[in-house]
A and B are shown apart, each in its own frame.
Chain A
Amino acid sequence: MTSVIDIILAVLTTLAALWAVMKGTLLRAAIALAATSVMVTIILFRLNAPLAAVFELSVCAGLITVIFMSTLSLTKPRTYEENMQHTKKRFSRYWLLPPIVGIAAIALAIFIKPFSLYFPFATSGTDVRSTLWNLRQADIIGQILILLVGVFGIIVLFKDKKKSGKEI
């Protein structure tokens, strides 16, 4: 059965995600996203999926946040007035989002009573290594393809020639 801690974690995850979407400044939105990932990490640990939790923490909360921060450090920051204006616009655009999420949560609670955060198959699965290499080989090949596509994407879109012909 769902415990009070799970409900608190789910609520905190939702709040952090809403914060990430509605926050006007990109820096704070990135921090909120990292906070969401931390919450998801805790949930994954509680679901007895430690490997998924470690990936979530290191890649989503860690690496991706670092990439976001690095990118933001290369951009020109907004002035205080611009920031206030942008935050106001964002609130006026997304003010319906929290009530919609709230209504969806209530509807789920009413209509799907046996809903539980604990799934027997998540805890009784075989070794992750054998699952990945024996059962999900096609997924791994697909992910290698995605990585290669990403590499070529960076080359095609960001490697330009100067007029002198010298590559940058």
Chain B
Amino acid sequence: MLIKKPADLRYSEITPKALYLNRRNFLAGVPAAFLGARELMSPSARALAGTKFPNVQKSKYTVGDEKINSYQEVTTYNNFYEFGTDKSQPAETAKNFKTSPWSVSVEGACAKPRKFTMDEILALAPLEERIYRHRCVEAWSIVVPWVGYSLSVLLNQVQPTSKANYVAFETYYDVKQMPLGPRGGLPFPYVEGLRMDEAMHPLALLSVGMFGESLPPQDGAPVRMVLPWKYGFKSIKSLVKIKLVSSMPTATWNAANPSEYGFYSNVNPKVDHPRWSQSSERRLGEFRKRPTLMFNGYGDQVASLYNGMDLKKNY
């Protein structure tokens, strides 16, 4: 039977057209639609923005008791400076961002460096839904149901060597597709970094979707990082390169203004941004501010990563 249940309705409405126009994927999807089998459905069709992921598993790394922000809020209020510095801009200017074909190169201090195509990334591990709090350094926050799996799954594939002390990340950059990039006041490509133990922490999510579907471009399609205990800018979008390195890598905001944005940038209500307080935040959709939690409320899981470190110095 081909009757669709309401549960199959997509959050975004762009996709059916995109799928329809992409004839090869569409044809590949036909048998899958008949058989209802995930394995037969073209993975690249699944990678298109707004494509619903079947069989997304529940995860234990989920905040249970908080209201999820609306799809509208999460997709129209974005800091993605490559697509403009106004938060309402990326939803418009990233609309035609080309995310297929896509691959992520994982290289550096590892035994088996290689490129992963998007199809390979999607097949590497069962996709989990993880509802995370997301706290921006600008003192607003959202709750998002991400889809993905721990970054450690991907990193283990390449077998990091003992020299891999840090992980360096890089966002895709193409000024032709991102003409507003040069006006943002930041050098691109956008780069970020983590210490190896942070990157291997199960909470560090390699995300390919949200709200049960693949990511829309303005939220970092087709694959991004989500680090819920750190300020949002650490969670790099539209990933193309991951490099295992021995010394602390450059991070874009940190390099642009080291006194304001630390390498660690863990959410910390006691360490203010030099220009504004970090003690409270505005959850989108709420009127009154709420207090900001240490490590954004993920202290039980991640605090031990920073034992003995002065978090005022290592902000």
A and B co-occur in one complex: no
A residues sitting closer than 8 Å to B (CB atoms) are: none
B residues sitting closer than 8 Å to A (CB atoms) are: none
